[in-house]
């Protein structure tokens, strides 16, 4: 007769998942909790930043912030606390953007008679060809995720839905794929 292992029930509430994360430190538990609220986080980021790509990046950065902040802060209501963290993150980004100054483009200053600017166009074309070759060298799953993220501008959640991969796996494949592409480009550069 087989011995049955004691299987703990999967926590259902935000509070249970938060407690499970604090006990275990497991990113899978935190990811499960965070995925419940990514629509709110993305919507809040979009509201403040007014740019879809910046909002997607902010969603990823906020997840990274949570890894550190949840160990330090006592959180009673995760959803409300996450909203405040999200809002503060966006406000900090906007504040940092205001400190940058913008220089007006003046075509007459940038005009060049020697056509040296064509060299940079040709170099970029060569880089694109190298990138295309390096992309083909990636593993199929990694290539698929990289293509969806960078070429088709899909967000993490859309990639999870389309591929069936876990959110953390998608994130990992994008990071590893980017690193592999960079390494390949440097070898062939």
Interior/surface letters 168-181, b for 16+ CB within 10 angstroms, e for the rest:
bebbebbeebeebb
What CATH number is given to the structural domain containing 169?
A: 1.10.10.10
Same domain, 62 and 129: no
Distance CA 174, CA 5 (A): 36
Mean pLDDT by 10 residues, the chain (189 residues): 53 83 86 89 91 92 89 86 92 82 61 58 76 86 87 87 91 89 82
Considering its fold, how many domains does the chain have in total?
2
Same domain, 68 and 131: no
Final residue before a domain boundary, out of 47, 69, 98? 98
pLDDT at res. 133: 86
Domain containing residue 76: 14-98
Same domain, 93 and 123: no
pLDDT at res. 164: 92
8-state DSSP, 164 = -
pLDDT at res. 1: 44
Q: Is residue 128 part of a domain?
A: yes
H or E segment and range at residue 18: helix 14-24
Q: Is residue 135 part of a domain?
A: yes
With beta carbons less than 8 A apart as the criterion, state whether 181 and 134 touch.
yes
Smallest CA-to-CA distance from 28 within 42, 10, 44 is with 10
Q: Is residue 103 part of a domain?
A: no
Q: Return the sign of the alpha-carbon dihedral for residues 171, 162, 146, 138.
A: positive
Same domain, 22 and 83: yes
Distance CA 187, CA 189 (A): 6
Which structure tokens are listed for 98? Answer: 């205001």
CA angle 112, 115, 121 (to 5 degrees): 115
Same domain, 88 and 150: no
Q: Is residue 25 part of a domain?
A: yes
Final residue before a domain boundary, out of 69, 98, 127? 98
Which structure tokens are listed for 161? Answer: 């839905």
Q: Is residue 108 part of a domain?
A: no
């Amino acid at each position: 007769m087989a011995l049955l292992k004691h299987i703990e029930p999967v926590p259902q509430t935000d509070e249970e998942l938060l407690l499970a994360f604090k006990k275990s430190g497991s990113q899978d538990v935190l990811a499960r909790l965070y995925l419940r609220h990514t629509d709110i986080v993305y919507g809040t980021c979009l509201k403040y930043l007014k740019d879809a790509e910046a909002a997607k990046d902010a969603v990823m950065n906020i997840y990274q912030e949570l890894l550190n902040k949840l160990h330090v802060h006592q959180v009673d209501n995760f959803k409300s606390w996450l909203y405040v963290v999200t809002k503060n993150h966006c406000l900090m980004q906007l504040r940092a953007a205001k400190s940058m100054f913008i220089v007006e483009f003046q075509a007459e200053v940038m005009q060049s008679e020697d056509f040296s600017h064509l060299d940079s166009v040709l170099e970029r074309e060569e880089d694109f060809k190298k990138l295309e070759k390096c992309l083909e060298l990636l593993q199929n799953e990694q290539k698929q995720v990289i293509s969806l993220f960078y070429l088709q501008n899909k967000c993490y959640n859309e990639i999870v839905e389309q591929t069936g991969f876990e959110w953390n796996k998608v994130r990992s494949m994008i990071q590893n794929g980017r690193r592999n592409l960079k390494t390949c480009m440097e070898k062939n550069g």
